């Protein structure tokens, strides 16, 4: 595995691969890697000749008072995991590489509508931060394919829309959520949970599965949302939303819709947990 820290080195490597006629897959991350991230890399190695993983904790996708300052930095351990998994190139830039003009006046990329609902309503500017850094990575890596986990389902749809609207010739691949044995979605932020909070955290996924069954049984969407929000609150969570949306674009569902995403964001202690599940009533 080769590691590069600046854009010029990255571009030179990409140009070399292109001259050799090789295909490239990109997996963007913020580091502190777990098995979910490694599953993306393993799939990337199956579908492309060369793989790039980026590790960059992107400050402009964090809101005021969020965990940017304490987000775990584990580059050495991450490098060992990536090397063992067969990565070709690790790109680990610093702030100056991706924000040469500074963060205050830097150009922003915004995806309307999708960015202002659900997580976007509670984290203003978050998805603009995500869209901006992903655009920078797409321009410099020029991958044929890019892989993202479905745990961040709204983020995945934002990136798909960005890719289509900006005419990037990149295939966006969503990968299944990797879970712990008790159903908790793997996340770098799970490390913020105390032992007692970790024992309660699987209620997030249990509530999604319960809501899915209620939806399949013909329950009213607003009743299902209210019931499961209340149950999480009673269990000590601080729910931001528990929402049933149209699968393809996260719009509010209409009477004719059959494919849904059930999404939840809730705080447990100092950890903000998100998860989702998909339901298809179309047979």
Residues carrying an active site annotation = 37
SS3 53: strand
Question: Which among 143, 150, 153, 123 is positioned nearest to 26, based on CA atoms?
Answer: 143
Residue 98 phi, psi dihedral angles, 5° rounding: -95, -15
d(CA 65, CA 226): 28
Contacts of 29 (CB under 8 A, 6+ apart): 37, 53, 54, 55
Q: Helix H segments across 103-220?
A: 119-122, 126-141, 153-165, 195-200, 203-216
Tokens coding 59: 């400050």
SS3 225: helix
Tokens coding 172: 């966006």
d(CA 112, CA 101): 24
């Amino acid at each position: 595995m080769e590691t590069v820290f600046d854009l010029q080195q990255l571009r030179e490597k990409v140009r070399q691969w292109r001259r050799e006629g090789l295909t490239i897959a990109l997996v963007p991350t913020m580091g502190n890697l777990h098995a979910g991230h490694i599953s993306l890399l393993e799939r990337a190695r199956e579908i492309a000749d060369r793989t790039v993983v980026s590790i960059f904790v992107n400050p402009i996708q964090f809101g005021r008072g969020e965990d940017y300052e304490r987000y775990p930095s584990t580059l050495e351990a991450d490098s060992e995991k990536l090397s063992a998994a067969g990565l070709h190139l690790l790109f680990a830039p610093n702030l100056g590489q991706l924000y040469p003009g500074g963060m205050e006046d830097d150009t922003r990329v915004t995806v309307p509508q999708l960015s202002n609902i659900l997580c976007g309503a509670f984290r203003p500017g978050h998805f603009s931060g995500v869209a901006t850094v992903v655009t920078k990575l797409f321009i410099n890596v020029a991958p044929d394919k890019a892989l993202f986990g479905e745990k961040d389902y709204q983020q995945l749809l934002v990136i798909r829309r960005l890719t289509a609207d900006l005419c990037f010739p990149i295939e966006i691949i969503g990968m299944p959520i990797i879970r712990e044995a008790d159903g908790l979605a793997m996340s770098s932020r799970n490390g913020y949970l105390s032992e007692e909070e970790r024992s309660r955290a699987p209620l997030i996924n249990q509530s999604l599965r319960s809501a899915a069954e209620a939806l399949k049984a013909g329950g009213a969407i607003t009743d299902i949302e209210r019931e499961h929000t209340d149950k999480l609150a009673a269990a000590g969570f601080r729910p931001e939303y528990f929402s049933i949306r149209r699968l393809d674009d996260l719009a509010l569902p209409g009477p004719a819709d059959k494919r849904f995403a059930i999404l939840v964001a809730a705080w447990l202690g100092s950890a903000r947990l998100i998860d989702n599940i998909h339901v298809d009533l179309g047979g």
